[in-house]
Structure 1
Amino acid sequence: MSKPVERNRAADALSVCDPVWDRLRAETEEMALSEPALASYLHVTVLHHKGFNASLAYQLAQKVGNSEVRAMQLRELFDEALRDDPSIAEAARADIVAYYERDPACHSYAQPLLFFKGYSALQLYRVAHWLWTHGRRAMALYLQSRVSELFAVDIHPAARIGKGVFIDHATGIVIGETAVVEDDVSMLHGVTLGGTGKEIGDRHPKIRRGVLISVGAKVLGNIEVGEYSRIGAGSVVLQTVPPHCTAVGVPAKLVGCAGCDKPSHEMDQMIVETDGPAI
């Protein structure tokens, strides 16, 4: 075992209070008892480890490792990132809670880590972003490519994404290089945060806190979607959306208020349309 892995496990063992890990581990123990065929997988992925960081690094490495770049090499890399930047694991924990609270199909903290590709893709982005900011751009782009191949999720490692983010189903997600996604955002499959093709430099959307972006929506250009707003399914948003508003259509127009105080938490996509200005 490498010394970085040993140090990371030691740091995990010293954690005196980690309610996410404690609950996730207890749920995994119950799962192993109820489904013996998965017991070996659950043991090596979760139950063998002393803490959340070690388990997360192992799981991500197993997902993206292959014959060219081995899982053990990637595990050491992920251990290094988690050790160097504690905010990565903090965000990963917050994302698990977001999945559990917002996804009616998620019944435990263990499910996102073990089974949800959107969660895995998001955590691999976080490591790729760490690599990007540390000048290791080739490896960052390699991880981006592997995630795109495996999960049909394409997040540029230079994008900036907050914590408590929920990406449901995840297939077809595209997030561009200069995009910003703040804390507590929820988005569904087929969402694009892209450029218009006419801009260079800072050319991607800025999604503020608490926004809900529904299935297949496209938000294009260096525009802002204000905090606690909603973007309806299939919409194409080309202009800034004010805070606490709902935008729907092609091209999108404002159709009233966001429908609730925290749309990304409520996940309420029902829209009562009223006359509103094109945006």
Structure 2
Amino acid sequence: MIPSTFHSSENFWKILKSEAIDVAAKEPMLSSYIHACVINHHNFESSLSFILSNKVSDDVMPAIAVREIFEEAYLLNPAMVESAIIDIQAVLSRDPAVSSFLTVLIHFKGFHALQIHRLANYLWHKDRTDLSLFIQSRNSIASGVDIHPAAVIGKGVMLDHATGIVIGETAVVEDNVSILQNVTLGGTGNEQGDRHPKIRQGVMIGSGAKILGNIEIGEGSKVGAGSVVLSDVPCCVTVVGVPAKVVGKPDCTMPCDSMKQNVLEDSAKS
């Protein structure tokens, strides 16, 4: 559901376009770029498909061909557009360095990587697996984020800084999760079947954390930076270390929103 502050995707688009017009007027060097990416478009999905297709394209696969795939997906599955709007709102509310929707849309590669993955996932479920794997490969090259097309990712997800994030085939990331750079949601070997982590709502995963195997990170929990998690994590706790152990509990129900990285503060509350 689109956040109540927007009421509709049209209202969100009006705000975003207004931001773009202001930036184009203030910074002439960016004017043509902002017009091409945002101002020249009639709605958000048109702008988004233009930006993402130019990220994914290469000399062999032109942007116009990739854009047709995005536009088809957005037409047939409008929930993808709604999820993108909620993802932008998530970044704006969680990252103190961000002050506008426009900044997320045109600059944040974690946001781009997540939306490109949504297309790969759409194609995967349409049995267009070779094309979905191509999109995954291009996403990895363009953004430094490697997400298997079959991985399930909810909305309101922030991939912060994003470089080096790896998410495996049977991983599940629920709504309202924050994941920092160099995080791996991986397997433990060459086993088949359901073999990757399940990340529940409200979780924050610190930079460099490795979560391995078909395990669950419980709702509202926090994984400290650099941790290696090899077993289930209960709800509403903070884990840290190699292997990770419970050291305390977050001071809020949604660590993904507070983004507090200091696990020593959580330990003091245990």
TM-score normalised over the length of structure 2: 0.94
Task: Say yes or no: does 1:41 pair with 2:8.
Answer: no
In the TM superposition, 1:82-161 aligns within 5 A as 82-161=74-153
CA pair 178-17 structure 1, distance change in 2 beyond 3 A: closer
Give secondary structure in 2 for the equivalent of 1:18: helix
Contact 1:20 1:109 in 2 (8 A): no
Task: Summarize the Cα distance change of 1:249–1:274 in structure 2 as closer, same or farther, 3 Å threshold.
Answer: farther
Aligned: 1:258 with 2:250:
yes
Is the Cα–Cα contact under 8 Å of residues 186 and 196 in structure 2 kept in the other structure?
yes
Within 1, Cα distance between the matches of 2:268 and 2:190?
32
Instruction: Please say if residues 64 and 147 of structure 1, whose CA atoms lie closer than 8 Å, have aligned partners that are also in contact.
Output: yes
**1:221 to partner: Cα distance:** 0.2
Aligned mates of 1:35, 1:138 — CA distance in 2: 41
Equivalences for residues 1-279 of structure 1 within 5 A: 18-197=10-189, 199-272=191-264, 273=267
Matched position secondary structure for 2:166? strand
Q: Is the 8 A contact 2:249 2:269 kept in 1?
A: no
SS at match of 2:263: coil
- Indicate conservation of the 8 Å contact 1:199/1:221, yes or no: no
The CA distance in 1 between the partners of 2:240 and 2:192, in whole Å, is 27
Write the deviation string for residues 210-269 of structure 1: whole angstroms up to 9, x where unpaired. 100001000000000000100000000000000111110000000121221210001112
**Aligned partners of 2:9 and 2:82 also within 8 Å:** no
TM-superposed deviation, 1:199:
2.9
**What code does the residue aligned with 1:102 have?**
R
Report the Cα offset of residue 16 of structure 1. Answer: 6.9
**Corresponding residue SS for 2:83:** helix
2-structure distance, mates of 1:48, 1:219 = 43
| Cα separation, 1, equivalents of 2:101 and 2:143 | 21
Q: Which runs of 5+ in 2 are unaligned?
A: 1-6
Alignment RMSD: 1.5
Q: Following TM superposition, by how much is the alpha carbon of 1:21 offset from its aligned partner in structure 2, in angstroms? A: 1.4
Does structure 1 retain, via aligned residues, the 8 Å contact 2:180–2:208? yes
- What is the CA-CA distance between 1:275 and the residue it aligns to? 11
* Paired position in structure 2 for 1:4: none
Deviations 1:122-152 (A, max 9, x none): 0000000000000001110001101111111
Contact 1:228-1:262 within 8 A present in 2 as well? yes
Q: How many residues are paired up? A: 262
Question: Greater CA deviation, 193-202 or 227-236?
Answer: 193-202
Deviations 1:42-97 (A, max 9, x none): 10110011100111011101111111111000111100000010110010000000
Distance in 2 (CA, whole Å) between partners of 1:77 and 1:44 is 19
Quick one: distance in 2 between partners of 1:26 and 1:197?
50
Contact 2:167 2:185 in 1 (8 A): yes
Structure 1 CA distance for aligned equivalents of residues 95 and 159 of structure 2: 10
The answer to whether the 8 A contact 2:224-2:238 is kept is: yes
Alpha-carbon distance in 1 for matches of 2:268, 2:225: 17
Q: 1:137 to 1:228 in 2, by over 3 A?
A: same
Q: Hey, what's the Cα distance between the residues in 2 that align with 1:42 and 1:179?
A: 36
- Letter in structure 2 aligned against 1:177: E
